[in-house]
Structure 1
Amino acid sequence: MEQLQHFKSRWQRFQYVECVLYAVGFGGLVYLLTKNLGFGLVGFMVAFGIALVLNKPWKIKTESVIAFVDAHVPEAGFSSGLLTLPTDQLSNLSLLQRHRVASRLKDLMPKLMPPHHLQKAALVMFGFILIGVLGRYVLGDFSSLSSKKGNNKEQIQFAPLDSIQEGIEIPELTETKITVAYPSYTGIPSLNTSNPNIKAVEGTQITWNLTFDGEVQEVIMDRMGELIPFSKNGEQYQLSQPLQSSGFYSFTFKDLEDNAYLTDLYSLEVTPDNPPMIEITDLNQYSYFEYNDDKTIPLNTQIFDDYGVNDAFIVATVSKGSGESVKFREETLQFDGSISKGNKQQRLKKLLDLSQLKMDPGDELYFYVEAQDNKTPTPNIARSETYFAVIRDTVTDEFAVEGNLGVDLMPDYFRSQRQLIIDTEKLIQEQPDISEYDFKFRSNELGFDQKSLRLKYGQFMGDETELQDAPGQVSAVEEETHTDEDGEEKDILDGYSHKHDSENEHNLVVEHPEKDEEEEEDPLHEYLHNHSDPEESTLFEKSLKAQLRDALNIMWDAELYLRLYQPEKSLPYQYQALEIIQEIKNSARIYVHRIGFDPPPIKEETRLTGDIENIKNVDKNESFEYEMTFAATRKMVARLETLINGNSQFTKSDNTLVLEAGNELAQKAVSEPVKYLKVLQGLRDLEKTTNRTKEMYVQVQKNILSVLPKVESNPGKGARSLDEINLLYLKELGDYE
C-alpha cells in the first residue's frame, strides 16, 4: 500500500509541473507583448488556474494507480489491488500472492514513470515565449516606423511665431545631426544623435548640423538670452559650442519673407568630473612608537576616479624640536611600484620607515595621500585625511639631590594648579597600595605646594607677605599643633613635612621688622592711594581682582583638606580654582586687546567750558525701495487672467513680458530643471500664434502658480483677541483706556 501511495504522489507532482509550464509560457507571452510585469503576473495566474481545472491533479485516485500498475508491470500479475485490502479479509492463497506482489514491486515501482505530458507542456511554453518575442519585435518596428512618419518629440520641430500668409512655402528641417565629442581623457567615443536634449561631461564639444529644404536667411541659437548665430557650410548650417554649464536653448530662423520660426526649449545638462576618492585602510589616525620599536607604517591605499587616475603620491612633513626652535621638513614620497595611468581604480602600497626619514625621538610625522585625475587642462586634485606618527621622547630633565647636600636645591616651588590636580588624583588612586605614612606625607606635601602657589598668586594682588590665615579660617598647622607631656608644643606633622614648611618657607619674602603696635596714625592715610595695601593694588581691574581673590580663598580650602589628609575633598576646590584662573587668563587677553585703542586728542582750551556751539545732532534718513521677487512672473499671472477672461488680445508688450518672466524662471531652472522646464516651455509656446488659446493660457497660468513662491509677508498690525483678564491687566498698566 505504501508503494502505491508514493507512486500516486509522484503522479500528482508531474501534473502540477505541467500546469506551471503552461502558465509560465502564457505569462511570458503577455509580458513580452505589454512590457508590463503586472500584466505578466496576472496572465501567469490565469493560465495556472485554467490548467489546474483541466488536469485536476488532486482527483487522481488509488484505483487509477492500481489500473496503471497492472497494465504496465507484468510482474504484478494483475494483483496489485491486493495491497490495498486488509489481511484479515484475504485467504491463505491471497496472502501468499500479496506477499509475492509486494516483493516484486518494491524494486520496480521507483523506476516506473507516471503518465505525463511534460514534453508537450515545455514545447507549448517555449512556443508562447517565441510568439511573444516575435510580436515584440514586430510592434517595436511598427512603432519606430510610425514615429518616423509622425511627430517625434526628440526631433527639432520649428513653428511660426506669427501668422503667415497662405501660399508661402515654409522651409522644412530635413536633417538634424548633433555630434557630441567627449574630452579625450574620458576615453568615451564621439556620439552622433538627433536628440537635442544633451547630457554630457563638462568640456564636451557639441556640434549642431541643420539641413533645410528651402532658402533660409539665418539660423540662431538662443542659449538663455545669449544669441549665437550658425555658420553656413554648403547646404548645412553648423554651430559648435563647448559644454561648460547646464541650461536651456532653442533655435530660431527666418525665411526669405522675414517670417520667424521657433523651436521648443531643449536642455543642456553638465555631468561634473568628480575628483578622485582616496581610501586608506587598516591605519590608525595616530601612531606612537618607542625608541626600540620597529618604526614602520604599512600604508595601503585605494584610489577611485570616474575617468582614470593620473598620479598619486605621499606628502610627508617631519617636525623636529619644540617651541620657537621647531623646524619642519617636507618630502614627497612615491608609492612602491608604478602607477597605471588612466585606470579608474588603483591599489597602491608603501612602507613608511621613520628611520629613513631621519626621525629621532621626540620627532613627529604628518602625512597624507594626494591624487590627481587625468582631466585636462587642469586636473582634479584630492587629498586624504592627515595621519600622525610620533616617536616618544626618552630624554627628560630630572633634578637630583646629592647625598652630601642638606637641602633640595630645585624644589617644585610653584607647581601649577593643573599639576596639583593630576598629583592629587594620582594620590587618591594609589592610596590603597601605599602605606598610611606615605599617604599622609604626600598629602601634606601637596598642601605645601598648594600654599606656595597661593602665595605666588597673592603677589599679583599686591600681597608682599601673608603671615596670617584667611579670615574666618583656622590654620591647619595650628589645628595639628598639640602640647606634649612636658608642656612644650609639638607639631604632629613634623614627621610628614620638610623642615622648610613654615610661615616664611625658603625665604620667599624678605623678613620685615615688626612695627610698634601703637604706631601713630597717618592723618593723610584716607587721602592717599596706598599701593602696599593688597586691596588698593591696581595690577588688575576691580573685576579681575575679585576673581583672583575668590581663587585665593578657594585655594585655602584646597590646602586645608590636603593638610587634613582628605585629598578627595580637596579635589573639587582645586577644580574651582583652576577654572577661575583660566577665566582670569582669558580676561587678561581681552584687556590687552583693548589697550590698542588710540582716542583722539582733547583740545585743552575747550575742555570743561560747556561750549556746544559747533556740536550738531546727526539726523540720517534712508529710504529703501521694496523689490518683490519674480515681479515679471507675477505680472504675467495677472495678464494671463485678463487673457483668459477674453477682455483683451495678446500684444507685442505681452511678448516682452513673456521674455522677462522666462528669464526670471530660467535662473531657477538651471538648478532645478525638472521643476521649471514645463513652465518655461509653456511660456515659449505663447510666442507662437497657433498656441494663443484660452486652454493654453489656463495651462500656462496653472504651471506658473505651481512653482511661484509665496509673497513675503510685510510687518504690520494684525487682528488679535483680548479676553477680560488681559483687558484688566492692560488697564492697570496704563496702556489701555
Structure 2
Amino acid sequence: MEQGKIHLMKFQKRWQLLSYAEVLLYALGLAVLCYFIAKNVVISLVVFLIGLLLFILIKKPWQHNLFSTSTYVDAHVSEASFSSGLLLQPEDSLSNLAKLQRYKVAQELSVKLGLLTPPNAIKQALLVLLGCIILGFVIDKLQVFSGVDQILNNPNNSEQIQFIATDSLKGKSLVPKIETQEIKVLYPSYTRLGGTTTTDPNIKAVKGSTVQWKLHFDHPVNDPVLDIMGELKPLRKVGLGYQIQLPLTTSGFYSFKFKNEEGTAFTSDLFSLEAIPDNPPEIEILGLVQYTYFDFSDKKVVELQSAITDDFGIDESYIIATVSKGTGESVKFREEKLSFKETISKGTKSMRATKSLDLDALKMEMGDELYFYIEAFDEKQPKRNVARSETYFAVIKDTVGEQFGVEGTLGVDQMPDYFRSQRQLIIDTEKLIKDKPTISIQEFKSRSNELGFDQKALRLKYGQFMGDESEMEEAPAEIESHEEGEDHDHAEDQESMLKEFMHDHDGDNEHNLVEQHEHENENDSEPEDPLHDYLHNHDDPEESTLFEESLKTKLRKALSIMWDAELYLRLYEPEKSLPFQYDALKFIQEIKNSARIYVHRIGFDPPPIKEDSRLTGEIKDIKNYNKNESKEAEQPFEAIEEAVRRLEQLVHKESDYKENDTALFTAAGNELAQLAIDNPGKHLQVLQGLKSIENNTGRTLENYRFVQKGLLLALPDSPQKPGAKKMYVDKINSLFLKQLEVYD
C-alpha cells in the first residue's frame, strides 16, 4: 500500500528539482550577459545571486508539495480516477471499498508516474541562456558598453589631466585646461585584443602596444610636448587639438608640458606607463618518467602526453628527438623533428598534445638511446617567444657484451673500462633505498655490494691524481678504530659475509696493480735532507701532482669520505652511505671549479735582467715600491639620501626652501624613477609629491613628511659594513620596528 505513496513522493521531488534547474539557468544567463557588459567577475557573481533569489521567489518551487502533486496527477492520469489522495490518508481511517480503490490506484501509478514528466520550462530556460550568451558576445565584439567596462574596472579612469605653472612667480597667468582627453591603446595584432579607449592617463598594456593621446585645450597653447623619462616628444596639431602616438616598449613615467600665450611654462602630474611582457609558452609533460628503459623483446613505444599553454596563443610546437648510436669515439647522432598527433591551430591558448614515439620506427637497435624534448613558439612579433621542456630519455638495453679471449701467458687487465661518476652512484644508491621494500634480501645485498665496488673503483681513479699507484694506503682513522677489540671481530664477520656477494674484480686483481714489499728497519732513522722542503719529489705521492696545497687537501678529504661511503655500502647500509657520497660530490665539484682557474697562473714572463748588473750585489738603485690608492665608495642613490636629509631640515623648519633644492629634488626623482621602472605604480605618488615640491604647489609639512617616508622606503637595504658589531635583535622588537615603519 505504501508503494504508491513512494512513487508519488519521487514525482514530487522531480518536479521541485526541475523548477530549481529553471531558476539556475535564468540566473546564469543574466550573470553571463552582465559579465560581457561589465567585464567584472565580482559584479557578475552578485547579479547571479540576486537573480537566483529573485527567480526562486517567482517560481516558488517549494509549493510543489504532495497535495498539489496529487491534484496534478488526478488531472493528468486517467487511471488515478481522482483517487490519488487516498494514498496520503492513513489506511486505518479508510473503508474496505476505499482500501480496494487505494490498492488499485497504487498499482496503476507505480507504472504511469515513471513515464509522466512534471510540468517544466527547461527548454525555454536553455534558450534564454543561449540567447544571453549570443547577445553578450555581440555586445563584446561591437564594444557597445566599452565605457561601462572602463568605469567599473578602472575607478580612476575619469582622472582629468591638470596643469600647474612651473614658475611660482607667474602662477597668476591664465592656465589652459583640457576640454577633452582621449587615450587609445592599440594592442599588437597577434594578441587579438583589438584596441581600447580610456581617459585614464595611467596606462597598463601589453609590451609592443601603440598608445595614442588626443588632447583638446580650451585656450591656445604653444610647444606642447610629452616628457617620457626626460625624453621630450612634441605633440602634433590635428584640427583643434593635439595628438601623439608612441609604441609602448618599456615601463616608466610621463607628463605633459607646454607654454601659454604669455610664455609661462606649465607641466602636468606624473603618470605611469606599465608594459606587460608577453610570457613564453608553458609546457608540461604528463605522466612520463624522465628515464625509460626497454628490453629488446618489449613493445618499445613511449606514449608522450603534454599540456601547452600561452597567454595570447600558440604558433607552433613540435618534438625534437635525437637518436644516438654507438659508443666512445664512434658515437653518431641523428636528430629529427616530429609533429604531434593533433593539428595545432594557430592562436590556441591551451591544448593537449600527444605522440606515440615508436623506437622501432626510429630504427633504433640495442644500446641506442633516444633524447627528446618539446619546443613551443607563441605568436609574438617581430620575434617569437620560445620555450622548451626538460629532456627525456628512452634507452634500449644492450644485453650483449664483448668478451676477449686470453691464451697463454698474455696479461689480462681486469679493471673495468669505465668508472661511474659520484653523481651516478648517488642516483643508484637512492634507487636502491627506494627499491629495498620490493626486492629480496639477497638482491639488496648484492646491489649494495656492487655499488661499494663502484665506489672503490672511483676512489682509486681519483687517487691517481694524488700520485697513488695502488690501494695500499691506510684507511681513515675512523675505519681503523673499528679494528680493535670486539669491533675487530665484528668486522671479520662482516667480511666473511661479504664474500658471497663480492664483485669478480673486487680483489682478484689487486696483486697485479703494484708489488707489495715489507718495510724493514722502519725504526731506523735517516738523516733529514736539508733540501727536502725545496724539491719537487716525484717519489712522494703527495708531491707528485701539479695541484696546489689547498686542492690536495680537498682531494684527500674526498678520498677519505669515499672510504666511509664504501664501508657502509659493504655493510648493506646505503642510508648511512648516502650523506658521505653527497659530501664527496661537493668536494669534487669544488676541485673542478678551482682547477679551471689554474691556467691563469701559468705563463709568467719575468722582466729581463741586465747582464752588466747581474751578480754585482749593488742595491743602491733599488728602491722600495710604495703605492697609495684611494677609492670612493659607490653611492648609487646619493641624491635620494641627500633629499631625505634636506627634507628632515624642512620638516623641522631649520631652514627655508632654497633655489638649489629644486635641482636636488629633480635628481632624487630621476633616481627614484630608475628604481620604479619595473613597477611604475609603486612609487607614483612619491614622484608626484617630489614634482609638486619642485613646482611650488606642494611645499607643505604634510607633503614633506610623505615624500621623506616614501624615499626612505624606496632605498634598498644597505649591505653589511665591514667591522660592524653583531648584535642580537629580538624578534618581537624587529616586528615592532617594522610596524613603526609602516604606520609612522
Q: TM-score, normalised by structure 1?
A: 0.55
The aligned residue for residue 234 of structure 1 is 239
Between the aligned partners of 1:692 and 1:282, the Cα distance in structure 2 is 62
Structure 1 residues 655 and 598: CA distance shift in structure 2, 3 A: closer
Following superposition, the deviation at residue 268 of structure 1 comes to 1.3
Following superposition, the deviation at residue 668 of structure 1 comes to 2.4
Counterpart check, 1:624 vs 2:628? no
Following superposition, the deviation at residue 703 of structure 1 comes to 3.9
Pairs within 5 Å for 1:130-279: 154-161=158-165, 162=167, 170-279=175-284
Between the aligned partners of 1:360 and 1:261, the Cα distance in structure 2 is 79
2:678 aligns with one of 663, 667, 671: 671
Pairs within 5 Å for 1:161-560: 161=165, 162=167, 170-399=175-404, 410=412, 412=414, 537-538=539-540, 540-541=542-543
Counterpart check, 1:658 vs 2:662? no
Q: Which residues of structure 1 form unaligned runs of 5+?
A: 1-34, 42-95, 108-140, 467-472, 474-500, 512-516, 518-523, 560-566, 721-737
What whole-Å deviation, never above 9, does each CA across 1:696-732 have from its counterpart, x for those lacking one?
A: x323423432441479697789999xxxxxxxxxxxx
Between the aligned partners of 1:165 and 1:505, the Cα distance in structure 2 is 102
Following superposition, the deviation at residue 380 of structure 1 comes to 0.4
Following superposition, the deviation at residue 342 of structure 1 comes to 1.4
Residue type matched to 2:400 in 1? V
Between the aligned partners of 1:260 and 1:309, the Cα distance in structure 2 is 49
Structure 1 residues 247 and 294: CA distance shift in structure 2, 3 A: same
Q: How many residues of Structure 1 are paired with residues of Structure 2 in the alignment?
A: 537
2:689 aligns with one of 679, 682, 687: 682
Between the aligned partners of 2:222 and 2:702, the Cα distance in structure 1 is 35
- Between 295-304 and 617-626, report the one with greater CA deviation: 617-626
SS class of match (1:258): coil
Are 2:258 and 2:267, in contact at CA under 8 Å, matched by a contact in 1? yes
- Between 249-258 and 587-596, report the one with greater CA deviation: 587-596
Higher alpha-carbon Rg: 1
The aligned residue for residue 56 of structure 2 is none
SS class of match (1:339): coil
Structure 1 residues 400 and 585: CA distance shift in structure 2, 3 A: farther
Structure 1 residues 693 and 410: CA distance shift in structure 2, 3 A: closer
Q: Report sequence identity in percent.
A: 34
Between the aligned partners of 1:240 and 1:169, the Cα distance in structure 2 is 28
SS class of match (2:683): helix
SS class of match (1:283): coil
The aligned residue for residue 10 of structure 1 is none
The aligned residue for residue 64 of structure 1 is none
Are 2:312 and 2:347, in contact at CA under 8 Å, matched by a contact in 1? yes
The aligned residue for residue 712 of structure 2 is 708
SS class of match (1:239): strand
Are 1:158 and 1:261, in contact at CA under 8 Å, matched by a contact in 2? no
Following superposition, the deviation at residue 175 of structure 1 comes to 1.6
- Between 251-260 and 157-166, report the one with greater CA deviation: 157-166
Are 1:156 and 1:263, in contact at CA under 8 Å, matched by a contact in 2? no
RMSD of Structure 2 on Structure 1 (CA): 7.0
Are 1:636 and 1:658, in contact at CA under 8 Å, matched by a contact in 2? no
Following superposition, the deviation at residue 261 of structure 1 comes to 2.7
What whole-Å deviation, never above 9, does each CA across 1:616-658 have from its counterpart, x for those lacking one?
A: 1323231426744613422441353266x8x64x564443333
Between the aligned partners of 2:652 and 2:253, the Cα distance in structure 1 is 29
Pairs within 5 Å for 1:641-652: 641=651, 648=656, 652=659
- Between 326-335 and 360-369, report the one with greater CA deviation: 326-335
Are 1:159 and 1:688, in contact at CA under 8 Å, matched by a contact in 2? no
Following superposition, the deviation at residue 287 of structure 1 comes to 1.0
The aligned residue for residue 74 of structure 2 is none
What whole-Å deviation, never above 9, does each CA across 1:550-573 have from its counterpart, x for those lacking one?
A: 999x99xx99xxxxxxx8699999
Q: Which residues of structure 2 form unaligned runs of 5+?
A: 1-42, 50-91, 104-144, 474-482, 484-506, 728-744
1:633 aligns with one of 615, 627, 643: 643
What whole-Å deviation, never above 9, does each CA across 1:326-368 have from its counterpart, x for those lacking one?
A: 3333222222353211111232222222233332222222111
Structure 1 residues 622 and 676: CA distance shift in structure 2, 3 A: same
Between the aligned partners of 2:283 and 2:440, the Cα distance in structure 1 is 50
Between the aligned partners of 1:166 and 1:432, the Cα distance in structure 2 is 93
Between the aligned partners of 2:358 and 2:584, the Cα distance in structure 1 is 46
What whole-Å deviation, never above 9, does each CA across 1:498-531 have from its counterpart, x for those lacking one?
A: xxx99998898799xxxxx9xxxxxx9998999x
Following superposition, the deviation at residue 282 of structure 1 comes to 2.1
Between the aligned partners of 1:503 and 1:651, the Cα distance in structure 2 is 90
Residue type matched to 1:375 in 2? K
Are 2:639 and 2:668, in contact at CA under 8 Å, matched by a contact in 1? no
SS class of match (1:196): coil
Residue type matched to 1:156 in 2? Q
Between the aligned partners of 1:719 and 1:294, the Cα distance in structure 2 is 65
Between the aligned partners of 2:186 and 2:510, the Cα distance in structure 1 is 90
Are 1:210 and 1:238, in contact at CA under 8 Å, matched by a contact in 2? yes
